[in-house]
């Protein structure tokens, strides 16, 4: 447990250092000054290349993905109303999605391609899926009746029925999903970009979702192989590695010139980061028992570490955008619940709607966190307006903002991939005999 928490701390410091050096104290300004005259011309006037739109979804935390799902349903409803398209879906308005734990399952539901070319689930269908299967996917306790009732085979069957044989290559947009690999003792990032370049990095979506949601205190580690069986990892929950994947998504975009050729800094981004409700350990609800102890259970330790890392990522990303005068282009949705994590789905659904009505909390450079004058719901609508504006701009744009790679290349994974700059994604020789 101590090893995992130390790795989380190390990764968090890595991410913060990258953001700090790249954005916070002027390095991005030096890079901007060094741009060629041709690139400046391409990005001026009517030829402006636009903004890359990133969606980041935290690991489950309090609501097991319900807060993020409700947020996306609210956003989808807004997009349909304002765009005039009654069939608009979330995947049409984002270029990259990153999700961890429960957030990864939600991302996969919304961005995996169905046979008809549309996403397999809309936002309302994804919310109902999580509500219906919450107890199957996310057992409430590593002890007692919940552990005895929890059967990994049921979860695998559910994910298999949902995703079939679809792989990372079958997603509509670039997708990033983290887990922690016990073979290499390092985070591992499942990436569509890497999967398209090398079969050794392509995994089935059902396996990816199971790996990133595998709570080590409940099911232990999950052994899995890539499609070509060349890469083997022993995975535990994505929240252990990267509870808030926003920084990894930003790093991936800024270093992936093949798919995002004109994106050079945060001024070229729109980022929506969705939390899933803070656990509220200080209120005595963290363990579900209402009692505070000096020796929290392992599950609580993991949540404390994960939520602390999430806050640090939020602070760093927020400062990066604020320092560039683009604070309105980064929106973080998070809430504080007043019910226990083990509550029934109906109660969780009710409280997530209340959290959307809470005043939004913003991070400010050297000033910590402050409640803004607008609510989470109003922030979502502001971001929705930006997404629609960008969507409309692209209809008349000469330059492509995003050039998605579709065909597999024989080339080795590019060194500029997020998996090369922020985590270890090197195929390991780990034996799967240790799978729990």
pLDDT of residue 436: 42
Of 176-190, 282-296, 339-353, 390-404, where does mean pLDDT reach its minimum? Answer: 282-296
Rg (alpha carbons) of the chain, rounded to whole number? 20
The pLDDT of residue 204 is above 70? yes
The reply to whether CATH 3.90.550.10 applies to domain 47-434 is no
Q: At what angle do helices 123-137 and 102-111 cross, to 10 degrees?
A: 140
What CA–CA distance (Å, rounded) separates 311 from 359? 17
What is the pLDDT at residue 137? 82
Rounded to whole angstroms, how far apart are CA atoms 238 and 227?
Answer: 20
Determine the pLDDT at residue 331: 93
Contact 245, 100 (CB under 8 A): yes
Res. 113: pLDDT tops 80: yes
With bands split at pLDDT 50, 70 and 90, how would you rate the model's confidence at 62?
low
**Is pLDDT at 115 greater than 70 in this prediction?**
yes
CA 191-195-201 angle, to 5 degrees, is 85
pLDDT at 199: 92
With cut-offs at 50, 70 and 90, classify the pLDDT of residue 190. Answer: very high
The pLDDT tens digits for 379-425 are 999 999 999 999 999 999 888 999 998 755 444 444 444 343 334 44
| Confidence category of residue 343, pLDDT binned at 50, 70, 90 | low
Please enumerate in sequence order all residues whose Cβ is within 8 A of that of 122, keeping only pairs 6 or more positions apart, or say none.
76, 89, 90, 110
- Distance between CA 414 and CA 256 in Å, rounded? 9
Confidence of residue 287 (pLDDT cuts 50, 70, 90): very low
Query: With bands split at pLDDT 50, 70 and 90, how would you rate the model's confidence at 321?
Result: confident
Dist CA 200 CA 227 (whole Å): 7
Active site residues per annotation:
100
> DSSP label at 113?
B
Q: What is the pLDDT of residue 174?
A: 97
What pLDDT sits at residue 309?
74
Sign of the CA dihedral running 376, 381, 382, 387: positive
Give every CB contact of residue 82 below 8 A, 6+ residues apart in sequence. Answer: 384, 385, 388
Query: Is residue 59's pLDDT more than 70?
Result: yes
Q: Where are the beta strands (DSSP E) in 315-424?
A: 330-333, 359-364, 368-375
Q: Is residue 10 pLDDT above 70, yes or no?
A: no
Confidence of residue 251 (pLDDT cuts 50, 70, 90): very high
Contact yes or no for 338/292 (Cβ under 8 A) = no
pLDDT at residue 314 is higher than 90: no
Indicate the SS3 state at residue 404: coil
Residues 165-189: what's their mean pLDDT? 94
For the chain, the domains span 47-434
Q: What is the pLDDT of residue 265?
A: 92
pLDDT digits (tens, 9 = 90+) for 11-38: 556 655 655 555 444 444 455 444 444 4
Count of residues making up the chain? 436
Please tell me the distance from the alpha carbon of residue 273 to that of residue 199, in angstroms, as a whole number.
30
- Residue 12: what pLDDT? 57
Of residues 129 and 150, more confidently modeled? 129
Residue 216 confidence (pLDDT): 75
User: Which one, of 200, 270, 210, lies nearest residue 238 by Cα?
Assistant: 210
pLDDT at 41 exceeding the cut of 60: no
* Residue 353 pLDDT > 60: yes
* Average pLDDT over all residues of the chain: 78
Out of 97-106, 117-126, 140-149, 247-256, which region has the weakest mean confidence (pLDDT)? 140-149
What pLDDT, on the 0 to 100 scale, is given for residue 369?
A: 75
What is the reported pTM?
0.81
Q: Coil, strand, or helix at residue 333?
A: strand
- The pLDDT assigned to 283 comes to 43
Banded model confidence at residue 213, pLDDT cuts 50, 70, 90: confident
Query: What's residue 110's pLDDT?
Result: 98
Q: What does the pLDDT read at residue 372?
A: 80
Residue 370 pLDDT = 77
């Amino acid at each position: 447990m101590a090893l995992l928490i130390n790795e989380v701390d190390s990764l968090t410091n890595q991410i913060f250092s990258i953001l700090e050096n790249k954005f916070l104290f002027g390095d991005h300004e030096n890079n901007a000054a060094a741009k060629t005259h041709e690139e400046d011309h391409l990005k001026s006037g009517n030829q402006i290349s636009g903004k890359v739109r990133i969606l980041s979804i935290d690991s489950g935390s309090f609501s097991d993905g319900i807060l993020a799902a409700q947020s996306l349903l609210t956003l989808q409803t807004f997009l349909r109303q304002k765009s005039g398209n009654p069939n608009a879906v979330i995947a049409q308005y984002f270029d990259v999605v990153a999700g961890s734990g429960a957030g990864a399952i939600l991302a996969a539901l919304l961005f995996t391609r169905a046979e008809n070319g549309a996403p397999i689930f809309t936002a309302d269908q994804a919310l109902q899926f999580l509500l219906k299967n919450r107890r199957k996917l996310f057992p409430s306790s590593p002890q007692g009746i919940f552990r005895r009732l929890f059967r990994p085979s049921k979860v695998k069957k559910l994910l298999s029925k949902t995703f079939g044989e679809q792989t990372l290559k079958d997603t509509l947009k670039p997708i990033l999903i983290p887990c922690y690999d016990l073979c290499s003792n390092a985070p591992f990032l499942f990436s569509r970009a890497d999967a398209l370049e090398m079969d050794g990095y392509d995994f089935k979506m059902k396996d990816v979702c199971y790996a990133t949601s595998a709570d080590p205190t409940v099911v232990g580690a999950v052994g899995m192989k890539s499609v070509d069986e060349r890469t083997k990892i022993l995975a535990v929950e994505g929240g252990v590695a990267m509870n808030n994947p926003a920084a990894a998504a930003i790093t991936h975009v800024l270093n992936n010139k093949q798919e995002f050729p004109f994106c050079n800094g945060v001024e070229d981004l729109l980022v929506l980061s969705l939390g899933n409700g803070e656990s509220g350990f200080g209120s005595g609800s963290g363990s579900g028992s209402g009692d505070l102890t000096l020796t929290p259970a392992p599950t609580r330790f993991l949540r404390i570490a994960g939520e602390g890392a999430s806050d640090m990522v939020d602070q760093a990303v927020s400062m990066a955008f604020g320092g560039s005068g683009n604070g309105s282009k980064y929106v973080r949705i998070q809430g504080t619940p007043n019910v226990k994590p083990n509550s029934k789905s109906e109660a969780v659904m009710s409280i997530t709607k209340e959290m959307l009505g809470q005043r939004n909390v913003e991070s400010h450079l050297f000033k910590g966190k402050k409640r803004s004058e607008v609510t989470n719901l109003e922030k979502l609508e502001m971001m929705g307006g930006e997404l629609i504006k960008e969507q409309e701009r692209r209809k008349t744009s000469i330059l492509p903002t995003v050039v998605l790679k579709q065909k597999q290349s024989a080339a080795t994974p590019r060194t500029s991939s997020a998996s090369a700059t922020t985590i270890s994604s090197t195929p390991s020789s780990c034996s799967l005999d240790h799978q729990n």
